[in-house]
Amino acid sequence: MDRWKKFPWRRLLALVLAMAALIFASTYSKGEDMYVKVASSNPDAVVLSSTDFFESEPLGNLKQNQSVEMLDKTDGEYVKISATVDGKKVEGWVKKVILQKKPLENSPRVSESGAVDNASFAAPGFDKEIENGMRKESPEMDKALTQLQDFEKKRARLMGLKESDDPDFEQDPTPMLNSYRDFANSGGLKN
């Protein structure tokens, strides 16, 4: 009975509490793993240094289905993430809607270095193959799609993007975002 009383219960309790706090901290200091829903050519795939459109600097583009760590910080619709972009670890902000908890099925997997294992991915429904089949069935449609392709190429050049005949070509949208920013500044629209 005496030994029972002498046992350092308080120390044990403190130890248990300290361990629980450590486990809690380690769990919550690591953010939730999320996956990128959009293609890297989507303007929202750019990781930004700030949530202010005018002040932010682009830190790089996320790839579709890339795994990112969502840190426990949000600002309106934006969320802070940690991710590997072009082989470098960056922390920045993206729109929360471009992330989802599970990886996309039938999509390219992205390795730690940020390289895409299968870049030829396209959604299994409407894609280049379906479009090409449609072109073969209708010469009028073929002609119109060629005109559309010409429009997309010229528009890409004007917005500082790369011209490509491939609809699946993944652009780096950074020059386009800079162009938007210049437009706002030169028109006195900056908030």
Partner 1 sequence: MKTNKINVWVTRLMLGALVFSFTGCAFLMAANDALKEGKLVDNLEPSEEYYLGRGVSAVIIQNYEPIKIDTPKQETQIKYLNDMAGYIEKAAQGVTRSARKLGDHTDRSYDQQEHVYNLALHKGIQVGILNTEEVAAHGTPGGFLWLSYGAIHMCKNEDELAALVAHEMSHIILDHGMANYRSAHKSQIASSFASDHMFPGDSKFSNFGRLCVTGFESMRNGYNPGQEFEADNWGTRALAVSGYKPEAMVEVLTRVEEFEKAHEVKPEDYLAHHPPIHKRIDTVKELIKTEKLTVNPKSQTAEAIKARSDRFAAAFK
Contacts with partner 1 by CB under 8 A lie at 37-39, 41-44, 53, 76-77, 95, 97-98, 105-106, 122-128, 130-131, 133-134, 136-138, 140-141, 144-145, 147-148, 150-152, 154-155, 158-159, 167-168, 171, 173, 176-177, 179-184, 186-191
* Residue closer to partner 1 (CB basis): 23 or 178: 178
Half-sphere exposure of residue 61, counting CA atoms within 13 Å on the CB side? 18
* Residue closer to partner 1 (CB basis): 84 or 170: 170
Q: How far is the CB of 11 from partner 1 (least distance, A)?
A: 43
* Residue closer to partner 1 (CB basis): 100 or 111: 100
d(CA 114, CA 45): 13
* Residue closer to partner 1 (CB basis): 48 or 83: 48
In the sheet that 88-95 helps form, which strands lie side by side, from edge to edge?
Answer: 58-61, 46-48, 88-95, 78-85, 67-75, 32-36, 99-100
Q: How far is the CB of 74 from partner 1 (least distance, A)?
A: 12
| Whole-number CA gyration radius for the chain | 25
d(CA 81, CA 87): 16
Q: How far is the CB of 135 from partner 1 (least distance, A)?
A: 9
| Cα–chain center distance at 100 | 10
* Residue closer to partner 1 (CB basis): 86 or 182: 182
Q: Output the CA torsion 76→54→177→115 (10° steps).
A: -60
Q: How far is the CB of 38 from partner 1 (least distance, A)?
A: 6
